[in-house]
Structure 1
Amino acid sequence: MDIKEIQNLIKFVAKSGASEVKLEMEDVKITIRTGSGKTETTILQAAPMAGMPQVAAPVAAQPVAAKEAPQAGNDDSKYITVKSPIIGTFYRKPSPDKPNFVEVGTDISVGDTVCVIEAMKLFNEIESEVSGKIVKILVDDSSPVEFDQPLFLVDPS
């Protein structure tokens, strides 16, 4: 990883609003902490400890108003679309033996975890920025997702 990639990562983390992100790859370990107007970066050239779970700080999902273009026989315009804030693999539950974070019909509030997205072996909890009821889950469990890809439809009423 070169200095340009590290600088781009710092900028991305600062814009995302995450308070801390840890990245471990082969022989490089990077921790980026943001808050109170400053960004602190620690880079260590050491092998990661085997068997230690790698978990990132929660990332807030960006709510986006659903498109106003009506679809044939489907009126989704009254719903808010919760989109993926990052690229990665979408998971509906925190681990294979745990229940799903949300189901269709689940009432959610601002700050509730709705899913986890794994990116570069970091598991990012995606929190809702809207309150309402989940009316549709748009992505299958363990599927890859793109940045800004719709994940859920939420009825805010």
Structure 2
Amino acid sequence: MDKELIFEIIEKIKGTKIEEVEFENEKGRIKIKQYVGPKKEVIAPTSQPVVEVKEEIKAPAHVEIEKKESQKYHVIKSPLVGTFYRAPSPGAPPFVEEGDTVSKGQVLCIIEALKVMNEIESDINGKVVKILVENGQPVEYGQELFYIEPI
């Protein structure tokens, strides 16, 4: 097919509501598709009342337990987006383990962001009940990291 004809067809359908054009002759076949935006769904008005059905989805039992734990315990959340590390370096022992007693200001973990190692400290005295993130995993701002039982 002639390139000029193809470009002419493209120019002709630009700005129109034509979505697709297809031509075929002895030299070949051409199909031109144009994006005209998302399709709008037209809903015809009816005289019948609209009934909305809502389905209640129950959370699994373990999620409910974690929610109860987070309400019962003090929660340490991530102050930034980054990578969570439990130890100061590979091969070193972790800062804390579940069951450890921590004091206010004690380092619990490191979150690396933009090649900067940010130490996350406990803001209360207590016992580490649950560590919620695995070593080396990415964390989001506000993500729960530790449950600490106040002493």
TM-score (norm 1): 0.53
1:127, 1:73 → 2: CA distance? Answer: 22
Percentage identity across paired residues of the two chains: 50
The match for 1:131 is 125
1:91, 1:112 → 2: CA distance? Answer: 15
Given candidates 73, 78, 82, the residue that maps to 1:79 is: 73
2:127, 2:84 → 1: CA distance? Answer: 20
Residues 3-24 of structure 1: CA deviation (Å, up to 9, x unaligned): xxxxxxxxxxxxxxxxxxxxxx
Q: Determine if the alignment matches structure 1 residue 112 to structure 2 residue 128.
A: no
1:1-157 to structure 2, matched below 5 A, reads 71-72=64-65, 75-76=68-69, 77-157=71-151
Instruction: Give structure 1 regions of 4+ aligned residues with deviation exceeding 4 angstroms.
Output: none
- Report the structure number with the largest CA radius of gyration: 2
Q: Which has the higher strand share?
A: 1
Instruction: Structure 2: state its 5+ residue gaps.
Output: 1-62
1:107, 1:121 → 2: CA distance? Answer: 30
Alpha carbons of 1:74 and 1:138: their partners in 2 closer, same or farther (altered >3 Å)?
Answer: same
CA-based RMSD of the aligned residues comes to 1.8
Instruction: Structure 1: state its 5+ residue gaps.
Output: 1-69
2:93, 2:65 → 1: CA distance? Answer: 34
2:65, 2:123 → 1: CA distance? Answer: 29
1:79, 1:72 → 2: CA distance? Answer: 12
One-letter amino acid of the structure 1 residue matched with residue 131 of structure 2 = I
2:91, 2:123 → 1: CA distance? Answer: 27
Residues 33-91 of structure 1: CA deviation (Å, up to 9, x unaligned): xxxxxxxxxxxxxxxxxxxxxxxxxxxxxxxxxxxxx9259741210110001110000
Residues 129-157 of structure 1: CA deviation (Å, up to 9, x unaligned): 11100000000100000111000000003
Q: Which has the higher helix share?
A: 2
